[in-house]
Structure 1
Amino acid sequence: MKHPSGTYFLRVSGTSMIDAQIFDGDIVIVDSGLRTYPKRILFQTMMAQARCSIAS
């Protein structure tokens, strides 16, 4: 774990990332200290909610 203080777990809710093999109810590990690259999975937080998408 490269950034322990910026690493956390999220439980996935929804089906928008099924093509990336991320399913409803999965728990994902998020490292907020990593850079974003095109076509990589991206987690964004806004107003106490997280959103998962593919970076463009």
Structure 2
Amino acid sequence: MNAFTRLIAWFRSAPKTAEEIEAAHDAARIRAEMDTTRLSQRSMAGSNYETRRGSDPESY
């Protein structure tokens, strides 16, 4: 075994356990819920900017 192969084997991560996989899925689900909440809260503000309501009085 050459030094490079040993170095790669040393830095290789251990196989993930079922608990680590479940925690990663939970974290991804929570992150997706937070993104959905943020986007739904910003949707009304975005629609105001897209329709240009309130931004230019001469465009009414």
Structure number with the higher strand fraction is 1
Q: Structure 1-normalised TM-score?
A: 0.19
Higher RCO structure (Cα 8 Å, ≥6 apart)? 1
Q: Structure 2-normalised TM-score?
A: 0.19
Structure 1 or 2, whichever has the larger Rg, is 2
